[in-house]
Amino acid sequence: MTEDLPNPALLPSGLSDVLPPEAAREAALVEAMLSVFAAHGYERVKPPLLEFEDSLLAGSGGAVADQTFRLMDPDSHRMMGVRADATPQVARIAATRLADVPRPLRLSYSGQALRMRGSQLAPERQIAQAGIELIGPDCAEADAEVALLGVQALAAVGVTAPSLDITLPTMAPALLDAAGVQGELRRRLARALDRKDAAAVHALAAEAGPPAIGLTALLTAAGPADRALQALGEAELPPAARAIADNAAAIVAAIRARAPELRITLDPVEFRGLQYHVGVAFTLYGPGSTGELARGGRYRSGEEAATGMTMYPDAVRRAAPVPPMPPRVFIPLGADLAVAAGLRTQGFITVAALSPADTPQRLRCGHILRGTIAAPIEENA
């Protein structure tokens, strides 16, 4: 090794090794979440990591086009992209390979996505995803199903009492459209809404005229869903905005009917997130400051209505309780291997000595096989 070589431990920014025991935990909770989805009829698909950019960036894929790594295909000499999000790929599969399967079509997936650049808040460039897409129906029941499956997936890995944040990404544009706000004023209003700068929104909305004035009321309405829905109900809204508010109320009602205890917040004029949502957008937060655990919402899957939820296993792992590790049992050289196999069926991890130099301590074992039992090793022995 020379001093000129870069440190081999140094990975590109936003890329990391997941080490023991976290890598095993992440894999286990992905499968636990996918099992919840499977039990509700969501069937797993596995799109490739790479595909032609024409198809990868079509439709909802356009939202991540500038985050997509491109590669030349040495075979076809066409450009390929590495997926930055699985949803556009699932949409492609639904529209092509599964075009003839009756709708509603329920699909699930898990895998890695790569992004060209991280942000200050989210520096990761490799993002594990595990999610569902419900393709075909355009109704509040469908949105409620995917939101609640996100909640159930979290419960399956021990993350209880999450909070569901609902936003209406088309509400602010509908109000701005109704007010005929365009150009620079629209951009400034959008920025003020994005910063939740109530004073600026108020001043700019007054400048824009009546239907935009509702923005101030809606900005302050953000909070617990019931209060926000009441504010939306009382607000003077143009027809397109009223339809968006009614849809939100129907979705909240459908969720409440199935999960009355779930904490739901509603922010009517927030419009962050992946830019392809057309109705409600969902974010699931864990308890405390565990951050965003999942995102989802309604979008167009090719020509079809669709709604979905993407869990972020890396964030879920940080929010989930750490399960106890099975005890490691040292198997001395020449031990009865059938006995070791029996211990594994009881849930022990057996770690075999391969040479006389291997000791329980070196192999990090708290137990040792003695006769037919796994005996705890005394700390002072």
The residues in 72-101 that bind a second copy, with binding defined as CB under 8 A, are 73-76, 78, 80, 82, 92-93, 95-98
Binding of a second copy by 114 (CB under 8 A): yes
Smallest gap from Cβ 95 to a second copy, in A, equals 7
Smallest gap from Cβ 175 to a second copy, in A, equals 30
Which of 126, 163, 265, 290 binds a second copy (CB under 8 A)? It is 126
Residue closest to 82 by CA, chosen among 121, 50, 56, 106? 50
Question: CA quadruple 206, 211, 212, 216: dihedral positive or negative?
Answer: positive
Measured from the Cβ of residue 315, the count of other Cβ atoms closer than 10 Å reads: 22
Cα–chain-centroid distance for residue 18?
A: 18
Smallest gap from Cβ 47 to a second copy, in A, equals 5
**CA torsion angle for 3, 7, 12, 14 (degrees, to 10)?**
-140
Binding of a second copy by 258 (CB under 8 A): yes
Tell me whether residue 243 or residue 337 sits nearer to a second copy (CB atom).
Answer: 337
Which of 71, 161, 243, 322 binds a second copy (CB under 8 A)? It is 71
CA angle centred on 121, ends 280 and 84, rounded to 5°: 65
Binding of a second copy by 290 (CB under 8 A): no
Tell me whether residue 197 or residue 358 sits nearer to a second copy (CB atom).
Answer: 358
**What are the two backbone dihedrals, phi and then psi, of residue 268, each rounded to the nearest 5 degrees?**
-65, -30
Which pair of tokens denotes residue 223? Answer: 């909070």
* Whole-angstrom distance, CA of residue 344 vs CA of residue 329: 9
Which of 337, 370, 375, 376 binds a second copy (CB under 8 A)? It is 337
Report the SS3 class of residue 346: coil
Smallest gap from Cβ 9 to a second copy, in A, equals 4
Q: Which stretch binds a second copy (CB under 8 A): 190-198, 200-208, 215-223, 344-352?
A: 344-352
CA-to-CA dists, residue 153 to 43, 159, 290, 316, angstroms: 15, 9, 16, 10
Residue closest to 135 by CA, chosen among 105, 95, 109, 100? 105
Smallest gap from Cβ 151 to a second copy, in A, equals 13
Tell me whether residue 67 or residue 220 sits nearer to a second copy (CB atom).
Answer: 67
Smallest gap from Cβ 25 to a second copy, in A, equals 9
* Whole-angstrom distance, CA of residue 112 vs CA of residue 109: 10
DSSP at 65: G
Smallest gap from Cβ 1 to a second copy, in A, equals 9
- Considering only residues 189-208, where is the footprint of a second copy by CB under 8 A? none
The footprint of a second copy on this chain (CB under 8 A) covers a number of residues equal to 90
- Considering only residues 22-61, where is the footprint of a second copy by CB under 8 A? 23-24, 26-27, 31, 34, 38-41, 43-52, 54-55, 58
Binding of a second copy by 119 (CB under 8 A): no
Binding of a second copy by 160 (CB under 8 A): no
